[in-house]
Amino acid sequence: MIVRKETRVLVQGITGKQGTFWTEKMIGCGTQVIGGVNPKHAGTEHVGVPVFASARAAMEAAPFDLALMFIPPAAAKDAALDAIEAGAKTLVVLTEHIPLQDVLTMHAAAKAHGARIVGPNTAGIVTPGEGFAGIMPGHNPNIFQPGRVGVISRSGSLGTLVCLNLTRAGLGQSAFIGIGGDPVIGTSTREALEALDLDAGTDAVVIVGEIGGTMEEEAAEYARGMKKPVVAFIAGRSAPSGRTMGHAGAIVTGHRGTYNSKRSALEAAGVAVTDLPRDIAEAVASRL
């Protein structure tokens, strides 16, 4: 789930407005984009790379590791299955509002084929100095700079703000992992935390969480045994119970998934939890 210079990326939906814009940005900062998919434009070139009729056709002509999906909700399941069955190791699913049954089918197929899904409703993944896949501004040096702080975020906008503050503080990032804000996602906060804990280029980790679900509590269980310092911010402290706030997954039911339960679990595990995003960089610097 950490993109590298050698990661070969296929862009599904490459010829659309967003697919075109972000593919150009990815290529411009070193991402190895091997091609794209659009059945109507198969056999042509777009932004300097070949366009294929399917992920299977792309895999035969130009093998890839990661499939990045600029695909509308109704077509997301078929695109994901195409990439998974073609042999993609990772799918970065930007799409939101995918029908739940389709999401479950995608996850089942990924598990059966040994693939990892990041998302749905993710902003993507970034490794400054190596490349990115998604709609995070990985091409912007004011926001992303090579460093040794890993960032995990359910929110793309909050993740961007945190990375901006880390860069301004002279810390930079080893990797950014946007896990997505839907209720059912393929990569959890804990799984992303485990990956960054094992990453030799990461010295500290920032978790940008939010109310809803129990991912932060589960991540706290793992953080308890980490030697690397972990700093967290949880959005939604003032959100009313029972109301979805922002992401579809940011809804509190009963006493589970509340701001207080998440903060208490993280602090009990030795994680420093800040009141505001602007305090994260200082908290990280003081623990490195």
The DSSP 8-state label assigned to residue 53 in this structure reads S
Question: What is the side-by-side strand order in the sheet with 146-153?
Answer: 131-134, 124-127, 173-178, 146-153, 204-210, 230-235, 272-273
What is the number of other CB atoms lying within 10 angstroms of the CB of residue 106?
27
Round to whole Å and give the CA distance between 229 and 23: 34
Distances (CA, A) of 195 to 177, 188, 215, 251: 10, 11, 15, 27
Q: Quick count: other Cβ atoms within 10 Å of Cβ 246? A: 18
Structure tokens at 113: 């084929």
Q: Residues with Cβ < 8 Å from 182, sequence gap 6 or more?
A: 96, 98, 103, 119, 120, 121, 247, 248, 249
Distances (CA, A) of 44 to 23, 36, 115: 16, 10, 28
- Whether 113 is a known active-site residue: answer no
Q: Which of 46, 97, 107, 247 is catalytic?
A: 247
Q: How would you classify residue 109: left for phi > 0, otherwise alpha for psi between -120 and 50, otherwise beta? A: alpha
State the Cα–Cα distance between residues 210 and 10, nearest whole angstrom: 31
Q: How far apart are CA 91 and CA 144, in angstroms?
A: 22
Query: Which residues are part of the catalytic machinery?
Result: 247
